Structure 1
Amino acid sequence: MVNSPSRQQILRLYGSTLRAARSFSSYNFRNYFVRRTRENFRNMQTEQDSGKLSYAYGEAVKELAVLRRSAMVNQLYGGWRLVVENQSEVRERGEN
């Protein structure tokens, strides 16, 4: 019998993965990994087979480690901010 992860473990991993994805300084990488994280965990949420769920959880744990390392490197060599990022900050503050 395969020991599948609990709902709390999956949610904790989801939050950690989203935090790691949002820590990228590059706009394109950040948005890609946030989208990919949401999609992966949405698929995990609908999985009924405990073996497949355990496998997906294990892969997500491995991906989190890679994502954290990649985000750290991206923060070191981030580059310039894009025009899209500057416009989204203005919208968030309520300015036009």
Structure 2
Amino acid sequence: MVGGRREVLSLYKALLRESRKFSAYNYREYALQRIRDGFREGKLLIGEEQQRQLQRARESLEIIKRQVVIGNLYAHPELVIEK
């Protein structure tokens, strides 16, 4: 079964793990909140709509990975809130 519980949980954890690598506090917190909200809303989906959302999450993971690399090239100093 594509989109089984194990796969969804693995994707969720991978998204959270990659998002925590953002060097910029605002990007990091925004991404983490969007991921949590998206998966919370998505747990009620079934069938084809669930598959579309899972594919979108996989694509988002790839985007986040690229953005983390780019963001780390232009890292900013830590904000006061991060200390």
C-alpha displacement of 1:27: 0.5
- Tell me if structure 2 keeps the 8 A contact 1:4–1:51: no
**2:73 matched residue in structure 1:** 76
How many residues are paired up? 83
Q: 1:85 matched to which residue of 2?
A: 82
Tell me the residue number matched to 2:63: 66
Aligned-pair identity in percent equals 30
Partners of 1:4 and 1:50 within 8 A in 2: no
Superposed displacement of residue 4, structure 1? 4.3
Name the larger-Rg structure.
1
Could you list the structure 1 runs, at least 4 aligned residues long, displaced by more than 4 angstroms after superposition: none
Task: Quote the offset at 1:12 in angstroms.
Answer: 0.2
Gaps of 5+ in 1: 87-96
Contact 1:21 1:30 in 2 (8 A): yes
TM-score by length of 2: 0.94
Q: Residue 84 of structure 1: CA displacement?
A: 0.6
Q: 1:27: which partner in 2? A: 25
User: C-alpha separation between the residues in 2 aligned to 1:4 and 1:54?
Assistant: 8
Q: Which of 40, 43, 46 is the matching residue for 1:42?
A: 40
Match 1:51 to one of 48, 52, 61: 48
Q: In the alignment, residue 8 of structure 2 is paired with which amino acid?
A: I
